[in-house]
Structure 1
Amino acid sequence: MRILSLADLPRRPIEEHQSKSFSVGAFGICADAHLVAVTLGPRGVIGRHPASGRQLLVVLSGEAQVAGHDGTVQTIGVGQAAVWEPGEAHETRTHAGLVAMIVEGDLDIGTPGEQIDRGDT
């Protein structure tokens, strides 16, 4: 077993799409998806851009104000996630700061209450 510290990942700042106080640290990749740790500082922004694949943003600490194609803003917190479809324009903002994990690629993400992994039967 290995223990990963998301805080210790090498990070790179992202400024594209008018993003600010935004950095990412990649910690996993496969042929169909990649996983990154995301940090947004206070008043940080991941600027509006299209999702290159289905994208899942899982909040680990803090709160995020997220919006999809229609621009409607919703606030999500720890234990919640936003899902954007391939090509969907979206953005993420935070007032106080945020740590999250993003998984993007060829993902099957169910609706609330739907069991995706049927288990070993």
Structure 2
Amino acid sequence: MKFYQFSKVHGKNISQFNSKFIMSRIINTDASASIGCMYLEENGIIGYHQAVVPQLLLILDGEGYVRNEQEQYFKVQTGDAIFWEKDEWHETKSDKGLTAIVIESEQLNPATFMALK
């Protein structure tokens, strides 16, 4: 399990085409990828399981806790990205609720674009 950040402060100013915004790049892959949005309500949980492929969880809103094989939970919040390798056991839970994007792909390498937390 590795922790990254994709928050605004880690982004890059984009000005091409008369644009004015900040982009935090996440991934670039030629492999197929599955992308979904997860909504954990109050006391929600993504149960303890093995990652079928490398998996990146991007916390968009709220806060919660994650763990891997060790039973120690780590607090996560908006702007955090958590990366699990294929076959790594993991769990995510939230007391107050959180919204996250999950990206699953055989060729994920978040270190290419994101800073370690």
TM-score class, shorter-chain normalisation, is 0.5 to 0.7
| Structure 1 position 50 matched with structure 2 position 50 | yes
Q: For each residue in 1:21-76, what CA deviation from the matched residue of structure 2 results, as whole angstroms up to 9, or x when unmatched?
A: xxxxxxxxx85220000000100010000001111101000002000122221001
CA RMSD for the aligned pairs?
Answer: 1.9
How far apart in 2 are the matches of 1:38 and 1:80? Answer: 15
Kept in 1: contact 2:64–2:96 (CA 8 A): no
- Trace 1:21-60 onto structure 2 (pairs within 5 A): 32-60=32-60
Higher RCO (C-alpha 8 Å, min separation 6): 2
Kept in 2: contact 1:56–1:84 (CA 8 A): yes
Q: Structure 1: 5+ residue runs without aligned partners?
A: 1-29, 115-121
TM-score (ref. length: structure 1): 0.64
Q: Structure 2: 5+ residue runs without aligned partners?
A: 1-29
How far apart in 1 are the matches of 2:35 and 2:74? Answer: 23
| Structure 1 position 64 matched with structure 2 position 56 | no
Per the alignment, residue 80 of structure 2 pairs with 80
Higher mean C-alpha displacement, 89-98 vs 102-111 = 102-111
Per the alignment, residue 109 of structure 2 pairs with 108
Which structure 1 residue ranges, 4+ long, deviate > 6 Å from structure 2? none
